Amino acid sequence: MDFSKYINSPLYVCERDIGMMSSAIQGKVKLFFNDDEVVPRLSIKSGVAVIPVRGSLVQRDRDAFYYGMTSYESIGKMINAALKHEDVDTLLLDIDSGGGMVSGLFDLLDTIVAAREQKKVIAISNESAYSAAYAIGSAAEKLYMTSTAGVGSIGVLMVHTEFSELYKSAGITTNVLRVGDEKAKPNALEKLEDKTRTELLDSMKKSYDLFVDSVVSHRDIDRQAVIDTQARCYDSDEAIKLGLADAVISYSALLSQLTASDLTENTMSTDTPTETAEIPEAQHAQVAETPEAKPVQEAPSTAMISAESIKEIKGMCETAGCPERALGFVAQGFNVKQVKLVLGELMVAETSANIDHSIKGEEANDKQVLDVMVDAMNKGRK
């Protein structure tokens, strides 16, 4: 991973995540997933696509397997997959994150807003939706919170560290040579100049304005009210009063209402800002007892992926001539057996369907591939 993306760059993070990032950069925490860790992935249940937004948020997939990160790129892919799935009518952004990079965030927000034109998009702060994670939640039609959740931290952070005095005390002299007066400023080997500090703050102000304008647009809140938060983090009572969130509800209750297709203004009233939305007992029984019209296709929720399995999946995809699919398999929790089934069935499906990309485009093929993947995933659990 390129840790330079976190140094001398504006970030949308709260204090919790900047501490974790600092520890990772110093090597105090492990970087790779092991057998006891789970890769975030899309799951589909009764018409609801649950899209996890977890940990520190980075721009691209290649960074997302480090110490619990999720990439904006992978979130966008999950959203697009859910939009193409005919059995999905609601997207639920399940958020537990302290934020992350500025780069890539606003492209994802555009994707979320565009998705709202096709299907319902709901978000929940399932304990934390701070900074960039809050920006993601605010772009949904509704943003709910669990009773102990937090939101906010609408601000920008940048960390600059330099070691010139440390090197000097150790008798180390560093000479920085440059052609072009502003080349490689700032850096960790030279003191931060006043002129460079001012330029960095100007850059941060631009990022801040983008963030504020995004919240104002998506939440329909007065701009000065957003600025007045001064990047504070809020619990549910304060957040709802300020218009940063809509209501309090547990994750399980929200999912039950969404899967029952019964998320209405009556059951999710926000007339009393701090009122907790509840589901009547009869409604709980109906959700549990009413049979589905057809079997539910659901991604596994507890599968573990080891580093060895990831390597094997990567090799299988390379052998099959589709190395680009490896990341998608791992991100959705496929095990080795499931990948073998998918690759085999994809070869048959692509041959029999004889889809001409230049005529029919990518959309038809993507739908076919997604259906094959879900079917193979179910077979792999048997």
Distance from C-alpha of 364 to C-alpha of 284, rounded to nearest angstrom: 37
- What total of structural domains would you count in the chain? 3
| Distance separating the N- and C-terminal Cα atoms of the chain | 37
* Nearest in space to 73 (alpha carbons), one of 58, 55, 84: 58
231 shares a domain with 181: no
What's the angle, vertex CA 43, arms to CA 39 and CA 47, rounded to 5? 165
Domain boundary among 256, 289, 322: 289
Does residue 33 lie in a domain region? yes
324 shares a domain with 215: no
Domain boundary among 234, 257, 289: 289
Look at residue 275 in the predicted model and tell me its pLDDT: 35
Does residue 295 lie in a domain region? no
Cis peptide bond upstream of 300, omega within 30: no
131 shares a domain with 55: yes
Cβ(108)–Cβ(82) under 8 Å? Answer: no
176 shares a domain with 68: no
132 shares a domain with 52: yes
Does residue 294 lie in a domain region? no
231 shares a domain with 139: yes
Phi, psi torsion values for 92, nearest 5 degrees: -115, 115
Does residue 180 lie in a domain region? yes
Q: For residue 218, how many C-alpha atoms fall within 13 Å in the half-sphere facing its CB?
A: 29
Cβ(91)–Cβ(121) under 8 Å? Answer: yes
Cβ(337)–Cβ(309) under 8 Å? Answer: no
230 shares a domain with 340: no
Does residue 31 lie in a domain region? yes
pTM recorded for the entire structure: 0.64
346 shares a domain with 274: no
Does residue 296 lie in a domain region? no
Does residue 302 lie in a domain region? no
Look at residue 367 in the predicted model and tell me its pLDDT: 52
Distance from C-alpha of 188 to C-alpha of 342, rounded to nearest angstrom: 48
100 shares a domain with 185: no
The CATH number given to whatever domain includes residue 89 is 3.90.226.10
Render each residue's pLDDT in the chain as its tens digit; 382 residues: 444 455 555 666 655 555 555 544 444 444 444 333 445 688 888 899 999 999 889 888 776 555 568 899 999 999 999 999 999 999 999 999 999 999 999 999 999 999 999 999 999 999 999 999 999 999 999 999 999 999 999 999 988 888 888 888 999 998 989 999 999 888 888 899 999 999 999 999 999 999 999 999 999 999 999 999 999 999 999 999 999 999 999 999 999 999 875 444 333 433 333 333 333 333 333 333 333 333 333 333 333 467 777 788 888 888 877 776 777 677 666 778 777 877 776 665 454 444 344 444 444 455 555 555 555 555 544 5
Does residue 301 lie in a domain region? no
136 shares a domain with 245: yes
350 shares a domain with 273: no
Phi, psi torsion values for 246, nearest 5 degrees: -105, -40
Distance from C-alpha of 128 to C-alpha of 212, rounded to nearest angstrom: 19
108 shares a domain with 64: yes
User: Domain limits at 184?
Assistant: 164-200
